[in-house]
Amino acid sequence: MSDPITLRPYQPGDEVGILAGHNQTFTPPRSLAHWLWKFRDNPTGQIHTMVASHETAGIVGAYVTLPVTFTIEGKRRIGGQCVDLFVLSDYRRHGPRPGLFVNLALAHYELWGGKAAHQNSFHYGWPIATWRIGQKYLRYEIVRDWDFLFRELPPGGFPVRPTSSELVVRGVNRFGADTDELWAAFEKTTQLAIVRDAKYLNWRYADARDAEYELFECRERSSNRLRGIAIVVLRDFLMPRTCYVVDWLVPADDHDATAALVATAEQRATAFGATALVTLFQHRDPRFLAFQRLGFLVYGTIYFQVVIPFDQQETHFYREQWYHTLGDSDLV
């Protein structure tokens, strides 16, 4: 008797079934516009989704990574964020042990994990629900706990932080070409990071569906030279009405631009009536200490970050070298 479920890569038109399965599994529900923005229209132009297609029930599971362009030791590669994974409850034990979820993942690994240009150098994610099965069968390796940096809002909001009169911070609708110049200089200082050029940042934040991000640039008054960017959003993730600095592109030694953008984020948190201002950098990044000197404290969460390497990087490389922010995830 033939198997009623086929494991295969995404085909155009599958998004309807994938979205239906997602909305049976997760809340709040996602729109088709959100799916198309996130997967079809991502800057790599690739869709890395393995589906379990039932001959009568349609799509009953999907193992999904969101492909993102990274710089890894000076070379451009793809990394895949594990997102929106599901198998409908009636089908989780289908097929060979240990079940459909693992076999979907292994099929995904075989096709999209490796050294070719279209493949993932590594996968990464924050697997609260799938940690145990991922550790046992899918090579999940923990690289760090997700410890946030936060400042609680005092009564009446944050006082105005003194900043350099030579700099000005303005909100923008989109980032322009000089963002690429800022990123090109930044890229020389890191061994591992998402490529934060204008194309990526505008897709991730300006064009985002179901979220409204505020984009800020810090520039020199006299020359208009771009010194740094920050992205701010109000979300209920972890705590109600939390103001997040969700992404950040400022040289570590540019203390004036750092202070100016932090001051803007503080005033936006005050205007939102937020309970706290929160951001994140990995523990070895100099910004982790720099933000503490600006008054931020450290808050531990239940989240931890994992990787699945495919091209022989040791786990400590991701732990030590990865420049990442909250925006590296799709959680905020």
Residues carrying CATH 3.40.630.30, the chain: 5-139, 147-310
36 and 208 Cβ atoms separated by less than 8 Å: no
Q: What is the dihedral of CA 323, 328, 329, 332, to 10 degrees?
A: 110
What is the per-residue pLDDT across 232-271, written as a single tens digit (0 to 9) for each? 999 999 899 999 999 999 999 999 999 999 999 999 999 9
User: Under CATH, which number does the domain 5-139 receive?
Assistant: 3.40.630.30
pTM of structure = 0.95
CATH 3.40.630.30 fits 147-310, yes or no: yes
150 and 278 Cβ atoms separated by less than 8 Å: yes
Nearest to 318 by CA among 224, 191, 208: 191
pLDDT given for residue 76 in this prediction: 96
Instruction: State which residues of the chain have pLDDT below 70.
Output: 1
pLDDT given for residue 1 in this prediction: 55
143 and 305 Cβ atoms separated by less than 8 Å: yes
